[in-house]
Amino acid sequence: MLHIEKAVENGTAVFKLEGRLDTVTAPEFESELINTLDGAENLVLDFERLDYISSAGLRVLLTTQKKMQQKGTMKLLHVCDAILDIFEVTGFTSILNIE
Residues lying near other proteins in the complex (CB under 8 A) = 20, 22-24, 51-52, 54-56, 58-59, 62-63, 66, 88-92, 94-95
Question: DSSP assignment, residue 22?
Answer: S
- Min dist CB 69 to other proteins, Å, is 10
Q: Which is nearer to other proteins, 12 or 90 (CB)?
A: 90
Least Cα distance to 3 among 21, 14, 76 occurs for: 21
Report, in angstroms and rounded to the nearest whole number, the Rg of the chain calculated over CA atoms. Answer: 12
Helix segments in 7-93, DSSP class H: 26-37, 55-71, 81-90
Comparison of 77 and 95: residue with beta carbon closer to other proteins: 95
Which CB sits closer to other proteins, 44 or 56?
Answer: 56
